[in-house]
């Protein structure tokens, strides 16, 4: 008989390891109960928090606005309608919009207290006097440059068409497409609603020279959406600069984040080598209104009207005042009704999963010495 000890077989080793682990787990009963219950508590907590968030987002202020359009003789509502016309600016994003409204193309006008004036760092004689800020009556300035000063100034002189008293203001889309109107409101990240028309803010009518009758209030109904247009005339001033570097320096010195006082211009135009036979321009505009950060949507900047204004001015200069290229409106794409949802589990479940897995590490690394 061979007295040498043979290595234990697989079943013997598995049986010994199982008994060892059972011994260890029996000695740590409370720890095992905690490890088992912790994931269950995490899941319950996630479920409760998700329900609380969903209940909050289901409130009317986060859903498409509705109104009663038909009542019986006792005042009971028989028919309710929901839509953009019954919604606030916060509610409109959840509405179904099969045919988005058309909005006039506006330009971004600086707020009255931030419009460019003559300062120590910008001592140009053609800039307005700083005293105009006290009465909030400063004009809005546009910087221009180019190789041919006479040609550039002649074309730029038509950037702000004169408002004609015979203009049909009952069709506000047509009327505002033939003149240049702007707003100092922050643009939205979609064009389903134009913020300039969803509040009581002022629309600025840019003119070479203002007359009293141009500032007025007009009530209008745009496809079921009641609008009250508070129109104020603002003088648009064209300022010539010798080169693009001068314009760049002037725009930088008036930038709000550079320090000092904000000195903001509507835009800048470089006519390059444009002639009667061809138009080529560079346009400066304030892109900081776009809110281009990693934490927010990029806004739809009011740039199309800037390009259309100079194109229209050039066409009229070449072909006469009877020629014009109209930018009638801007609009967004149709959208279905949506609801606000916030998936909490997708946001924090990786953290909870890591915690649960790490709880198993001490257990797997423990050893039980059995004699």
Mean predicted confidence (pLDDT) in 241-247: 94
Nearest C-alpha neighbor of 263 from the set 243, 247, 276, 241: 247
Predicted pLDDT at 369 = 41
Closest CA to 268 of 255, 277, 257, 258: 255
159-188 burial, b if ≥16 CB within 10 A, otherwise e? bbbebeeeeeeeebeebbbbbbbbbbbebb
Please write the tens of the pLDDT for every residue from 299-320. 889 999 999 999 999 999 999 9
CA-CA distance, 108 to 32, in Å (whole number)? 64
Q: Kindly indicate the confidence band of residue 370, based on its pLDDT and cuts at 50, 70 and 90.
A: very low
Q: What percent of the chain has pLDDT over 90?
A: 32
Which pLDDT value is given to residue 218? 73
Query: H or E segment at 52?
Result: helix 29-57
Query: Which of 3-12, 342-351, 359-368 is most confident?
Result: 342-351
Residue indicated by tokens 């229209």: 312
Distance of CA 189 to the CA centre of its chain: 3
pLDDT of residue 280 exceeding 50, the answer is yes
pLDDT of residue 204: 93
Least confident stretch, 64-78, 209-223, 261-275, 277-291:
209-223
Calculate ∠ Cα 302-303-307, nearest 5°. 140
Q: Are 310 and 146 in contact (CB under 8 A)?
A: no
pLDDT digits (tens, 9 = 90+) for 127-178: 999 999 999 999 999 999 999 999 999 999 999 998 876 655 566 777 788 8
Residue 3 has pLDDT above 60, yes or no: no
* Interacting residues of 35 by C-beta distance below 8 A, sequence separation 6+: 359, 360, 363
């Amino acid at each position: 008989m061979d007295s040498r000890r043979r290595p234990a077989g697989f079943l013997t080793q598995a049986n010994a390891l199982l008994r060892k682990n059972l011994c260890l787990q029996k000695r740590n009963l409370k720890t095992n109960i905690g490890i088992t219950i912790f994931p269950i508590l995490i899941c319950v907590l996630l479920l409760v928090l998700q329900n609380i968030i969903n209940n909050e987002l289901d409130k009317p202020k986060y859903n498409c606005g509705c109104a009663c359009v038909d009542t019986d003789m006792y005042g009971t509502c028989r028919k309710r309608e929901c839509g953009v016309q019954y919604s606030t600016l916060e509610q409109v994003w959840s509405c179904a919009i099969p045919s988005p409204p058309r909005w006039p193309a506006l330009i971004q006008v600086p707020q009255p207290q931030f419009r460019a004036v003559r300062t120590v760092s910008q001592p140009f004689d053609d800039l307005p006097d700083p005293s105009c800020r006290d009465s909030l009556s400063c004009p809005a300035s546009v910087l221009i440059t180019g190789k041919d000063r006479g040609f550039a100034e002649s074309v730029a002189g038509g950037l702000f068409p004169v408002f004609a008293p015979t203009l049909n203001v009952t069709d506000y889309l047509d009327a505002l497409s033939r003149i240049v109107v702007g707003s100092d409101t922050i643009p939205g990240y979609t064009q389903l609603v134009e913020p300039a028309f969803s509040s009581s803010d002022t629309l600025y009518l840019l003119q070479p020279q203002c007359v009293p009758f141009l500032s007025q209030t007009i009530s209008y109904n745009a496809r079921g959406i009641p609008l009250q247009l508070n129109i104020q005339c603002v003088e648009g001033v064209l300022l010539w600069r010798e080169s693009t570097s001068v314009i760049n320096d002037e725009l930088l010195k008036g930038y709000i984040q550079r320090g000092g006082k904000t000195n903001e211009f509507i835009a800048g135009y470089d006519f390059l080598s444009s002639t009667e036979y061809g138009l080529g321009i560079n346009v400066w505009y304030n892109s900081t209104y776009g809110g281009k950060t990693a934490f927010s949507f990029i806004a739809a900047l009011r740039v199309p009207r800037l390009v259309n204004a100079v194109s229209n001015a050039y066409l009229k200069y070449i072909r006469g005042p009877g020629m014009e290229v109209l930018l009638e409106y801007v609009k967004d794409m149709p959208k279905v009704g949506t609801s606000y949802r916030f998936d909490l589990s997708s946001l924090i479940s990786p953290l909870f999963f890591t915690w649960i897995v790490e709880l198993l590490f001490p257990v797997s690394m423990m050893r039980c010495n059995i004699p």
